[in-house]
């Protein structure tokens, strides 16, 4: 993170769409996110993410699939760790503003297109400016994940 811009986490990285503080303010009181995952074979499933026990540093992130509601994983995450998920290399990523039609409606987004590497396929991430946190849509290797619903605590 640079002193002048909290969105820049390294000299070779693009600015992130949100700061750790913005993610904290949007999530610390508790947020439930419902996602739809569409797989390349035409099947799909719903997944849930829930933040609880949020404080200045982070929160407990719980995740489960709709078809297995008792199989919950939970781990402590920091707001900075979540911001780092959107810190993409400037040499292999482009970013632009884009309006996205989504299950949440028409959203003003920042779209990040990443190039394929030896470890990861090319991917596209849409971050809705009105919803600090995870992308509202993600596409890679024929899989699409879309945020269907966001709710507070």
Total-model pTM: 0.93
What is the model's pLDDT at position 15? 98
**Is 72 in contact with 55 (CB distance < 8 Å)?**
no
* pLDDT, the chain, mean: 95
Phi, psi of 26 (to 5 degrees): -80, -15
Scored b (16 or more CB within 10 A) or e, 22-46 reads bbbebbbeebebbbbeeeeeeeeee
Domains of the chain: 20-151 (2.50.20)
The token pair that represents 15 in the structure block: 């600015």
Burial of 81 per CB tally in 10 Å (0-12, 13-18, 19+): middle
* Cβ neighbours of residue 17 closer than 8 Å, sequence gap 6 or more: 7, 86, 110, 112, 127, 129, 132
Phi, psi of 24 (to 5 degrees): -60, -50
pLDDT tens, residue by residue, 9-27: 999 999 999 999 999 999 9
* Cβ neighbours of residue 133 closer than 8 Å, sequence gap 6 or more: 18, 23, 26, 27, 31, 33, 82
Of the pLDDT bands very low, low, confident and very high (cuts 50, 70, 90), residue 129 is very high
Compute the average pLDDT of residues 1-13: 85
Q: Is the pLDDT of residue 153 over 80?
A: no
Alpha-carbon distance of 80 to 39, in angstroms, equals 29
What is the model's pLDDT at position 29? 87
What is the model's pLDDT at position 125? 98
What is the model's pLDDT at position 1? 54
């Amino acid at each position: 993170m640079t002193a002048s811009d909290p969105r820049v986490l390294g000299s070779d990285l693009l600015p992130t769409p949100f700061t750790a503080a913005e993610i904290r303010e949007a999530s610390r009181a508790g947020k439930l996110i419902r996602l739809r995952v569409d797989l390349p074979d035409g099947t799909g499933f719903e997944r849930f993410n829930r933040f609880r026990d949020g404080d200045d540093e982070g929160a407990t992130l719980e995740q489960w699939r709709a078809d297995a509601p008792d199989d919950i994983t939970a781990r402590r995450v920091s707001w900075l760790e979540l911001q780092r998920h959107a810190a993409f290399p400037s040499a292999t990523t482009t970013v632009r503003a884009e309006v996205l039609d989504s299950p949440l409606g028409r959203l003003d987004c920042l779209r990040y297109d990443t190039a394929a590497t030896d470890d990861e396929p090319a991917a596209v991430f849409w971050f809705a400016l009105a919803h600090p946190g995870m992308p509202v849509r993600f596409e890679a290797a024929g899989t699409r994940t879309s945020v269907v619903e966001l709710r507070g605590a």
